Chain A
Amino acid sequence: MGYTTIRERADAVGTFRFISVNLMETLARWVPTTPELEAKILFGRHIWDMAQEADGLGQRTSELRAPLHYNARPTDGYMQTLDALAALTDTAERAEAMYDGVLPDLEARYRDYLAGTNQMQDEPTVRVIERVLSDLARMREDYVRFQAQRPDLRPQAKDWKDRLAAIANGPADFVAFRTAPPQALEV
């Protein structure tokens, strides 16, 4: 997918922003409902990472001629992925689905964007996304440390691997592009 027009870039950045806000809310929802202290700390620390990502992306949407903090709801297929993640109740499943499922998939989507845009013309977006990628990598490193701290917290359900795969491999199309506005006719 190429992101060649301003409108396409705004829609993609707005979609990434929506996802960041959604993941911030999911982590926030998990904090009081997760029993294990170490997991609460892990999720709690990353709430602000997601907020900072949303903030940076939201500033950029206004530079791409969309509203400030433009939130573009993803495709229905990708929304199902986010909803499936948010609905998890087991601590180990929550953590693994977030850090070994959705975040690596999201990283790949950001990298696809970088590959599909003009690095020179779209440099401000590129810089925002590079910072996001650095945050996502650190969050996953935090999860590795969490696993060392709580090796007992591993998903136990027999069907978990299949469910994780479904969450980790969301549909390729995730940006619900707006239709282009009709061109003005010159009389």
Chain B
Amino acid sequence: MTTPCHPALDPALFGEGPARDERFTVKEIWVDMVNLPEDDPEWKMEFFHRQMNEECNVLENAASNIVDFPDADWNIRYWLARQAADEARHVDTYREIVEQRGGHVGQYPVMNFQYRILRRIDTLIGRLAVQNRTFEADGLDAVTHAIDEARRDGDEPLAEMYETQQADEVLHIRFANDWIKEQLKVDPMNVLHMSRALTHGARAFEQVFADGGTDVAKYGVATDARLEAGFSAGEVDVAVEQSDARRAAVRERLGVD
């Protein structure tokens, strides 16, 4: 058996992974996953399976935030509990989709980078900045695009499922945005906690997705959904600029229009 030769993930950026049962094969980095081209007949199944585990990471992060920050105010703990339940529902939904389409749990490898990155962030504001305002916001862009794609393919039940998920994601980002804005007023040091966490998240993300994992150019920022989720117009403008620049760079690198 050959072992893939990759630099190890930096333990300062990644904590231990969550528990997984024996059905799962867990990989550390994107390049070791089953990364199929979109015209592959198995592409969708692998995508649903990957999403199931991603949602599980978000569930595990919301749950961990409840445990790790027992002194946080009740309002934010209540919302984290709500998020945990929503994410559990999402995991179950993707599991059902995988099984209805003839797949099974553990069919493809999974990654737990979202959970592992958050284990190394020691403030709640930092975790929410990375998980809810960054990962979930990126997910919101993706799911907004996926709704159109499913409708274009004539898959109305899938489009409806994505719409439900989109509404949940808006809620999760919005409660985090509202709470973060409050905390920034309470203590200016929170700006530093947040920016330190975002830098941490970006560095860790780079390690996981090295060698092509960020070569996604097909959709941009879901501006209306982001505004609804509590981002300011200025924040959305910055996200659009960054996304456009990144997608242009990807298209140039890959030589596509």
What is the interface of chain A, defined by CB distance below 8 A to chain B? 24-25, 27-29, 31-37, 40-41, 43-52, 55, 58, 69
A174 smallest CB distance to B (angstroms): 21
What is the interface of chain B, defined by CB distance below 8 A to chain A? 18-23, 56, 59-60, 63-64, 66-67, 70, 74, 77-78, 81-82, 84-85, 87-89, 91-92, 95, 105, 115
Q: What are 29 pairs between A and B in contact, CB < 8 Å?
A: A25-B66, A28-B81, A31-B59, A31-B60, A31-B64, A32-B63, A32-B115, A33-B18, A33-B19, A35-B21, A36-B21, A37-B95, A37-B105, A40-B56, A43-B88, A44-B85, A44-B87, A45-B85, A45-B88, A46-B85, A47-B81, A47-B84, A47-B85, A47-B88, A48-B84, A48-B85, A51-B78, A58-B74, A69-B74
Residue of B21, B23, B64 with most partner-chain A CB within 10 A:
B21
Whether A48 touches B81, Cβ cut-off 8 Å, given contacts A40-B56, A41-B91, is yes
CA of A50 to CA of B85, assembled, Å: 11
Closest 5 CB pairs of A and B: A44-B88, A51-B81, A48-B85, A31-B63, A28-B63
A46 smallest CB distance to B (angstroms): 8
- Which listed residue, A37, A44, A49, A69, touches B63 by the CB 8 Å rule? A44
Residue of A31, A43, A58 with most partner-chain B CB within 10 A:
A31
Other contacts beyond A28-B64, A35-B19, A52-B81: 9, CB < 8 A: A25-B70, A37-B91, A40-B56, A44-B63, A44-B88, A45-B89, A45-B92, A47-B66, A47-B84
Whether A24 touches B21, Cβ cut-off 8 Å, given contacts A40-B59, A58-B74, is no
CA of A55 to CA of B66, assembled, Å: 15
Contacts of B81 in A (CB 8 A): 24, 28, 47-48, 50-52
Contacts of B23 in A (CB 8 A): 37
A40 touches B91 (CB 8 A): yes
CA of A27 to CA of B66, assembled, Å: 10
B84 to A, closest residue via Cβ = A47
B59 touches A35 (CB 8 A): no
Contacts of A48 in B (CB 8 A): 81-82, 84-85
CA of A50 to CA of B80, assembled, Å: 12
Residue of A24, A41, A49 with most partner-chain B CB within 10 A:
A41
Contacts of A25 in B (CB 8 A): 66-67, 70
Contacts of B60 in A (CB 8 A): 31-32, 40
Contacts of B91 in A (CB 8 A): 37, 40-41, 44
CA of A24 to CA of B67, assembled, Å: 9
CA of A36 to CA of B84, assembled, Å: 16
The A contact surface, by secondary structure, is helix
B67 touches A41 (CB 8 A): no
CA of A35 to CA of B26, assembled, Å: 12
Contacts of B92 in A (CB 8 A): 41, 45
Residue of B18, B56, B64, B88 with most partner-chain A CB within 10 A:
B88
A43 smallest CB distance to B (angstroms): 8
B92 smallest CB distance to A (angstroms): 5
B172 smallest CB distance to A (angstroms): 12
Contacts of A44 in B (CB 8 A): 59, 63, 84-85, 87-88, 91
CA of A186 to CA of B89, assembled, Å: 61
Contacts of A27 in B (CB 8 A): 63
A99 smallest CB distance to B (angstroms): 16
A46 to B, closest residue via Cβ = B85
B112 smallest CB distance to A (angstroms): 10
A37 touches B21 (CB 8 A): yes
Residue of A24, A25, A28, A55 with most partner-chain B CB within 10 A:
A28
Contacts of A49 in B (CB 8 A): 85
